[in-house]
Amino acid sequence: MRTDVADMFRMPTGDADTFRMGSGDAETSQILPQDIYQFSHIIPSFKMTGFEAKGLPKDAYELDQAALPETVEEKTVPPHLIPRPKPEALCFPSKHTGKVFQTGQFWAFGGDYDDTPQFYGRIQKITLTQAFNEAAELKMHVCRLKATSFPENVIRWKDKRMPVGCGTFSVPKTKSCSIFVPELLTHQIFPQTSMDGNECTILPKIGQVWMIYTDWSPHYDIVALGEHYLDFEVVEVLDDALNYKVLALERAMVSSEEKNHFFRAAKSRPSRCYEEDGTGVIFTIPQSKMLRFSHQLPASRVTKEVDGEMKVLFEVDKKALPYGP
């Protein structure tokens, strides 16, 4: 009975004990029964997964060097066996905003009536153009995400034109995109994407700062939103396990030279607030009313002096705030 064998090549990874089996008829041969003693001994080996080192294929083997002879016949690794790393997407920094853009990223942006980032999109393409004697201009080709299905218990907007700040969204494959300059994209978001990449989920998470409708109703329409008839409130998400426990935040007055706005835990809430919330600054928004969350605010924790004391505050990009706060 003949035994099929294949040549193994030492991989150019810097490890003397890493080998890969050849593929194809050119690297295979047969040992006939009468030549069985051509086999010297078994070499302890471990089949690797490809995650042990950069550039290492998943079908490589690590051999016990103690079982190898002092000299091994060297063979040149065929080009098709050398792993080629996938090209990485180029990053484009914007010197005006300090943001770094890359294809495949998800970003929030404003609508037609104001700059409040109540919409989301995925960067499909980035172009860099430069006219004669002018500075180079960076433009992002962004495909807008579209809200899809909700759990059965979630109360929907009656006006389908109202923006949806959280839920499940479809990721478009179409080439029909809108063009944005860096200043119009407020902040990058990191949704949970499906295995096929066709859908993504954006939900309020613990520690995030969101804008909510103060007195919410599913009957609000795009006209009321555009005419600035709706009131908003800033909250921090404390719990997202089932329903959403939130803490009301209020403006903190710091130096007038600051460009952004600062928020701290509220001491009380306005009397016009939603009756179901109760009177406390900590209240719960049920999952059924998740559309009360308007949009996430790009916020970071900072330490500032307030009323002569150093306080930990949330610094919020004022461009992400609507007309109310």
DSSP states of 92-149:
EE-TTT--EEETT-EEEE--SS-----EEEEEEEEEEE--TTS--EEEEEEEEPEE--
> CA-CA distance, 93 to 102, in Å (whole number)?
9
What end-to-end distance do the CA atoms of the chain give, in Å?
84
Q: What percent of the chain has pLDDT over 70?
A: 69
Cα separations (Å) of 201 from 40, 140, 148, 170, 198? 58, 22, 10, 9, 11
Q: How many C-beta atoms lie closer than 10 Å to residue 168's C-beta? A: 19
pTM of the predicted structure, to 2 decimals: 0.67
More confident residue, 203 or 133: 203
What residues form DSSP beta bridges with 127?
139
Mean pLDDT in residue range 40-59: 64
Mean pLDDT in residue range 221-230: 86
Which helix (DSSP H) or strand (DSSP E) does residue 16 occupy?
Answer: none
Length of the chain: 325
> CA-CA distance, 185 to 150, in Å (whole number)?
26
Which range among 21-25, 69-73, 286-290 shows the weakest confidence by mean pLDDT?
21-25
Cα separations (Å) of 126 from 139, 173, 184, 202? 6, 16, 14, 24
Token pair listed for 172: 């478009």
So what's the pLDDT on residue 165?
92
